């Protein structure tokens, strides 16, 4: 993305977030995810306000973007909505570093074909991460993920 465009999009999402004050992911947030992922026809999301659960599905890679590229702040766009549980399902890859700094308690990536984890990811409120058997080693997760809480790894069978 062009530097000016990334900063502008981030400001737009911020203003949309402040104006709504209830933390629900409205069209601006979803539209930005669709643009960044470049495949809105194979991309869908669902938000459950009571539980603050966000599910994102794609038949491609999922990009949730730390807005460091192109003049952005470097923070994840997930700060614009309140998410306690994130469920990602994709046939492509997902880079867990995109979640750096987020406050989710539960992350379920068992539905992702490929996980990338090459840098330390700070998830201050993480209590549980759910992975698929053989998807990524629990030791790698423990090596790269930091939380203020003791957290568990749940491994589901294929």
Confidence of residue 23 (pLDDT cuts 50, 70, 90): low
Flag whether pLDDT at 134 surpasses 90: yes
Q: For the chain, how many structural domains are there in total?
A: 1
- Cβ proximity of 3 and 70 under 8 Å: yes
- Name which residue leads in pLDDT, 152 or 13: 152
The HSE-up count of residue 149 (CA atoms within 13 Å, CB side) is 14
Distance in angstroms (rounded) separating the CA atoms of residues 139 and 117: 12
Distance CA 110, CA 90 (A): 9
Confidence at residue 71, expressed as pLDDT on a 0 to 100 scale: 62
Whether the pTM exceeds 0.85: the reply is: no
User: Is the confidence at residue 21, as pLDDT, over 70?
Assistant: no
Tokens representing 13? 């999402």
Range of the domain at 18: 3-156
Q: Is the pLDDT of residue 139 over 60?
A: yes
pLDDT score of 72 more than 70: no
Please tell me the predicted confidence (pLDDT) of residue 4: 61
- CA distance to 99, 108, 132, 139, 149, per residue, from 23 (Å): 17, 21, 30, 34, 24
Confidence of residue 33 (pLDDT cuts 50, 70, 90): confident
């Amino acid at each position: 993305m062009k530097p000016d465009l990334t900063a502008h999009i981030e400001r737009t999402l911020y203003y949309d977030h402040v104006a709504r004050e209830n933390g629900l992911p409205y069209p601006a947030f979803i539209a930005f995810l669709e643009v960044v992922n470049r495949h809105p026809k194979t991309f869908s999301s669902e938000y459950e306000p009571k539980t603050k659960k966000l599910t994102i599905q794609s038949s491609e890679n999922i990009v949730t973007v730390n807005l460091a590229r192109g003049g952005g702040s470097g923070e994840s766009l997930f700060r614009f909505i309140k998410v306690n549980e994130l469920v990602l399902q994709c046939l492509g890859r997902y880079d867990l570093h995109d979640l750096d700094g987020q406050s989710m308690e539960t992350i379920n990536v068992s539905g992702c074909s490929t996980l990338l984890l090459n840098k330390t990811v700070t998830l201050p409120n993480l209590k549980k991460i759910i992975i698929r058997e053989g998807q990524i080693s629990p030791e790698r997760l423990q090596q790269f993920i930091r939380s203020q809480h003791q957290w568990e790894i749940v491994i589901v069978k294929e």
